[in-house]
């Protein structure tokens, strides 16, 4: 029975990847056509306020008065349901593009709204609306990576990683676990809990004691910066949230998780998950959790670091993709582990995810400088290599257990080559740095 289920899951995943590749291979217009339907109504037709479409418009009007990330999913669904009034649908998509664009981190989705509005105006023959939205699309600053991300948002039904699950064993990231591990994890998970739209599964700064395995719905990951919540990304069915604090050893949530639509999740207490992770029978679970932790920590730290926080979401995705997370890369650090030798060539820039590093010029002396992360601050080590071949001026020695990721210097140079603002910011940070002879930023 399990083999049949796995076969069906793999088949669905293969079909999803094929559809996904087909979308990304085309242009924005191709992606729009996948989501658009032929108009069934006449432009300018009056709408009865008590009709279903009239009620949808009233609800959209109310949502825009205090628009927030929690309203995005409902607003887009309401606008899409105005298909019997295509001109009205186009106008609302345009308005939603403006509203969504004011939410930090949602620019690709805003672009997708305006792109869909452009196609809708074209379909009903409203050339003024088409030109207006076309000009708005050109105002977005974007590159190939940004456009790729926007196409994903335009065709979000096809790019969605997974539909509703029937068992925790169907979580995509966990499918490679042994049947023994999956059986025990399923037993611990018990019955899913329901979270209505607008509910927080967990709140930044509060005590962390549970992990959430998403069965259905969608969750926005938010983190506070400068007294404002910023959007990190969405999590979908089959993904896990809230487990980072377990792996980092923190006792507080580092981000908030907001249900942007009705959501169900299996909730597993840390104590139970820790026992399973530490049991020698389930070493595959430990390896998987560590891999997921590193991937998510990189994503979060790139948003937190002042040099990379200024990048848009697609650029951060691109940068995260060039980080070396292979088994050979030094990721988990133990106290007194040597990360780099003095005078060795800097061939990778280190992104310190968690922990403390001493920059030591000799084995006998004390550290020249100490670099320590905080809940909202990471460090890059070796950034001078961005501007030419350099050598480590210090030994890098871990003072405490922690986590680190490597970015190959050549890949980082290629990434920064087309982003002069990033290169200038790095240069300014190195000049101003008082730690480790400008080794860290």
- Asked if residue 340 has pLDDT above 60, the reply is yes
Average pLDDT estimate for 394-401: 89
The fourth-level CATH superfamily of domain 319-432 is Jelly Rolls (2.60.120.10)
pLDDT confidence band for 399 (50 / 70 / 90): very high
Residue 294 is predicted with a pLDDT of 84
- Asked if residue 195 has pLDDT above 60, the reply is yes
d(Cα 360, Cα 353) in Å, to the nearest integer? 20
And the tokens for 106? 């949602």
Residue 156 is predicted with a pLDDT of 45
- CA 7: distance to chain centroid? 29
pLDDT in tens, 273-311: 888 888 988 888 888 888 888 888 888 888 888 888 888
Q: Say if CB 63 and CB 74 are below 8 A apart.
A: yes
d(Cα 188, Cα 246) in Å, to the nearest integer? 16
Residue 408 is predicted with a pLDDT of 93
And the tokens for 420? 């002069």
Task: Count other Cβ atoms within 10 Å, centred on residue 362.
Answer: 10
Residue 80 vs residues 75, 160, 173: alpha-carbon distances, Å = 9, 17, 31
Residue 110 is predicted with a pLDDT of 82
And the tokens for 153? 């948002």
Residue 429 is predicted with a pLDDT of 82
Residue 274 is predicted with a pLDDT of 87
CATH of 168-296 given 3.40.50.300, 2.60.120.10, 1.20.120.1200, 3.30.410.10: 2.60.120.10
- Asked if residue 128 has pLDDT above 90, the reply is no
Residue 436 vs residues 375, 390, 392, 439, 441: alpha-carbon distances, Å = 22, 14, 10, 5, 9
On average, the pLDDT of the chain sits at 77
pLDDT in tens, 49-80: 778 888 888 889 888 888 888 788 788 888 88
Average pLDDT estimate for 362-376: 76
d(Cα 319, Cα 363) in Å, to the nearest integer? 35
- Asked if residue 39 has pLDDT above 90, the reply is no
d(Cα 67, Cα 233) in Å, to the nearest integer? 18
Residue 316 vs residues 145, 146, 173, 254, 311: alpha-carbon distances, Å = 10, 10, 22, 19, 6
Residues of the chain with CATH 2.60.120.10: 168-296, 319-432
Q: Say if CB 211 and CB 238 are below 8 A apart.
A: no
Residue 407 is predicted with a pLDDT of 92
């Amino acid at each position: 029975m399990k083999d049949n289920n796995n076969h069906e899951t793999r088949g669905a995943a293969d079909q999803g990847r094929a559809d996904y590749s087909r979308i990304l291979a085309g242009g924005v217009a191709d992606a729009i056509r996948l989501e658009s339907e032929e108009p069934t109504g006449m432009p300018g037709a009056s709408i009865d306020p008590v009709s279903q479409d009239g009620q949808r418009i009233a609800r959209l009007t109310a949502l825009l008065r205090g628009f927030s990330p929690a309203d995005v999913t409902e607003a887009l669904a309401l606008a899409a349901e105005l298909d019997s009034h295509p001109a009205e649908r186009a106008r609302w998509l345009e308005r939603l593009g403006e509203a969504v664009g004011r939410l930090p981190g949602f620019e690709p989705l805003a672009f997708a709204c305006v792109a869909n509005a452009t196609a809708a105006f074209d379909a009903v023959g409203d050339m003024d609306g088409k030109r207006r939205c076309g000009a708005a699309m050109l105002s977005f600053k974007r590159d190939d990576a940004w456009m790729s991300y926007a196409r994903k948002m335009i065709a979000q039904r096809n790019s969605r990683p997974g539909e509703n699950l029937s068992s925790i064993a169907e979580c995509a990231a966990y499918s490679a676990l042994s049947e023994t591990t999956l059986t025990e994890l399923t037993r611990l998970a018990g019955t899913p809990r329901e979270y209505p739209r607008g509910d927080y599964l967990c709140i930044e700064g509060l005590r962390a004691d549970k992990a959430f395995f998403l069965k259905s719905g969608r969750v926005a990951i938010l983190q506070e910066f400068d007294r404002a919540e910023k959007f990190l990304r969405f999590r979908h069915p089959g993904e896990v949230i809230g487990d980072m604090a377990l792996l980092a050893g923190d006792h507080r949530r580092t981000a908030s998780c907001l249900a942007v639509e009705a959501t169900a999740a299996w909730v597993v207490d840390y104590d139970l998950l820790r026992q399973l992770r530490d049991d020698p029978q389930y070493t595959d679970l430990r390896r998987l959790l560590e891999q997921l932790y590193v991937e998510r920590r990189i994503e979060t730290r790139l948003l937190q670091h002042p040099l990379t926080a200024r990048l848009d979401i697609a650029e951060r995705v691109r940068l995260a993709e060039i980080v070396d997370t292979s088994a050979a890369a030094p990721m988990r650090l133990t106290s007194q582990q040597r990360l780099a030798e003095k005078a060795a060539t800097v061939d990778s820039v280190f992104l310190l995810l968690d922990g403390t590093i001493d920059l030591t010029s000799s084995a006998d002396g004390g550290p020249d400088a100490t670099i320590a992360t905080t809940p909202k601050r990471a460090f890059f080590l070796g950034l001078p290599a961005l501007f030419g071949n350099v050598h480590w001026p210090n030994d890098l020695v871990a003072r405490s257990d922690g986590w680190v990721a490597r970015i190959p210097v050549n890949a980082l140079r290629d990434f920064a080559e087309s982003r002069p603002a990033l290169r200038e910011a790095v240069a300014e940070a190195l000049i101003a740095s008082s730690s480790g002879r400008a080794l860290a930023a």
